[in-house]
Each structure stands twice: as C-alpha cells, then as structure tokens.
Amino acid sequence: MIRVVQGDITELDVDAVVNAANPSLMGGGGVDGAIHRAGGSAILAECMEIRRTMYPGGLPLGEAVATTGGALRARHVIHTVGPIWRGGGSSEAETLGRAYRSCMRLAAGMDLRSVAFPCISTGAYGYPVKEASRVAIHAIREFIGETGWHGEVLLVAFTALDHLALTAALEDAL
C-alpha cells in the first residue's frame, strides 16, 4: 500500500529509507547529507566498501544498493541515483522510474516490509516535483502489480508543496 507523509525521512521507523545519492556514494547535501549525518559513519563505511568491491566507477544512475541504517531508526538505507533534469528530453522519466523500481526490487529481495522514499531528483537535480511524483507512483504501482509485493511504501514530502504534489499524483493514479 502507498501512503504520502510529510516530514524528515531520517526520523522514520521503517525497514529501509531510500537515499537520493550521487554516483560517488560519498554523501552530499539534501536528503543524502541528512541521512549520512543522522545515520553516522557506519553508512559511509559500507558505501566505501560497495564502491571498492562492486562499483569502483560509481553507482550508475537508476541502480540501487543497500547499507545498514547505522544510527537511524530505519534498519537499512537503500541508496539510488536519480537523473539530473535536463528538460525532459534525455530519458529522465525512464531513468527515474528505473531508480524507483531498483529500490523496490532490492527491498523485496531483502524481504523488507516498509520502505520510505524521498522525492528523488526533485531537489538539487531539478526534476519538476509534479512530474517526478507521477513517475514515482507509476513505477511503484507497476512493481507491486507485477510482483504482488505487499509491504508499505511511504512517499515522504519534506515540504508542503511536495506533499501537495505527491497527494495529487497518488489520487490521480488510484
């Protein structure tokens, strides 16, 4: 089931929170910075190990990897990289949908039952939040429809504007 909530994703008691990372996995600003700050060095240590063993060139756009949640209430962090918005003509929607599906596939593979997503790519990466919300909900609903996964997905809005966009997109989809 999919729910829209407003707040700070680092405070949620869920099996996994999703991080809108960059390919380096070495942290950044926005939700990436918040998750690393609140989760602590254990998350970064596992990100460095993932870079060393699995992705020496960086995490490709649309892929997802999991680490410990560290000091977060969430047990795990699923790191993914969304597209940078370049106007809509560079397969941004396809890449964003792939990022959401990769996170869902990883969560299902880890037998997780609750996953919280931020609005991936809608901050520093500039993706218009209304369109990104539609892509996110379509990708998640498609994954659930194809696999029968029956956990809980929380779409976390940090701002009231994002909450409006996510709520409207979810209502349109139902």
**Residue 8 touching ligand APR (CB under 6 A):** yes
Q: Characterize the bridge pairing of strands 64-68 and 76-80.
A: antiparallel
Residue (7 or 148) nearer to ligand APR, CB: 7
Q: Minimal distance in Å, beta carbon 32 to ligand APR?
A: 4
The single residue listed with the structure tokens 């964003």 is 96
DSSP annotation of 85: P
Residue (86 or 146) nearer to ligand APR, CB: 86
CA separation for the pair 73, 10 (Å, rounded): 8
**Residue 10 touching ligand APR (CB under 6 A):** yes
The site for ligand APR, by CB under 6 A, has a size of: 26
Beta strands in the chain (DSSP E): 2-6, 16-20, 64-68, 76-80, 114-117, 152-157
- 9, 14, 107, 165: which one contacts ligand APR (CB under 6 A)? 9
**Residue 58 touching ligand APR (CB under 6 A):** no
The residue from 8, 13, 32, 111 that is catalytic is: 32
**Residue 80 touching ligand APR (CB under 6 A):** no
Which strands sit side by side in the sheet containing 152-157, from one edge to the other?
2-6, 152-157, 114-117, 16-20, 76-80, 64-68
Amino acid at position 48, single letter = M
Does the annotation mark 32 as catalytic? yes
Residue (102 or 122) nearer to ligand APR, CB: 122
For binding to ligand APR (CB under 6 A), which residues are involved?
A: 8-10, 20-22, 28-34, 82, 118-125, 156, 158-159, 162
